[in-house]
Amino acid sequence: MIQRLKTFIHYTSLTDRAFAQKCGIAQNTMSYYLSEQRKPSFEAVEKILQSFPELSAEWLIRGDGEMLKQEISQKEITRINNLVDTISMLQDVIKSKNDVIKSLSEAQHKSFN
């Protein structure tokens, strides 16, 4: 777990001290954790997870899954749905234009014969 904690601290671009402060953990306590002199307490892990809601508890504690949670906000869902609607509309426009091109091509071919 310590290596995963170090990986996440590096990901945040915070110093060990700034990370400890943000989590409400004493700097010397965090130093003990990171040097593996002590194992993080449940309370320390809870503070870390509360301070960084994007951090996956499953990944931090067990090493399973991805480091960051993959939550999609309602705003993102709406944006994705709008993009799907736009793509569908554009596909209809392309089909319509292809039909016009085909008709014009056939008409041009008949006029030359």
The string of pLDDT tens digits covering residues 47-83 is 999 999 889 999 999 998 888 887 666 777 788 889 9
Residue with tokens 């990901």: 11
Query: Does residue 67 form part of some domain?
Result: no
Query: Does residue 23 form part of some domain?
Result: yes
Query: Does residue 12 form part of some domain?
Result: yes
Residues 51, 8, single domain; the answer is yes
pLDDT score recorded for residue 26: 94
The string of pLDDT tens digits covering residues 2-49 is 999 999 999 999 999 999 999 999 999 999 999 999 999 999 999 999
Residue 104 vs residue 81, higher pLDDT = 104
Residue 100 vs residue 75, higher pLDDT = 100
Residues 17, 50, single domain; the answer is yes
Range of the domain at 82: 72-113
Structure tokens at 32: 């003990």
Task: Write 95-102 long-range contacts (CB < 8 A, 24+).
Answer: none
pLDDT at 90 over 70: yes
- Give the separation between CA 82 and CA 53, rounded to whole angstroms: 28
Query: Does residue 16 form part of some domain?
Result: yes
Residue 27 belongs to domain with CATH number: 1.10.260
Work out how many domains the chain is built from and give that number. Answer: 2
Query: Does residue 46 form part of some domain?
Result: yes
Residues 48, 80, single domain; the answer is no
Residue type for 80, please? I
pLDDT score recorded for residue 35: 94
pTM: 0.59
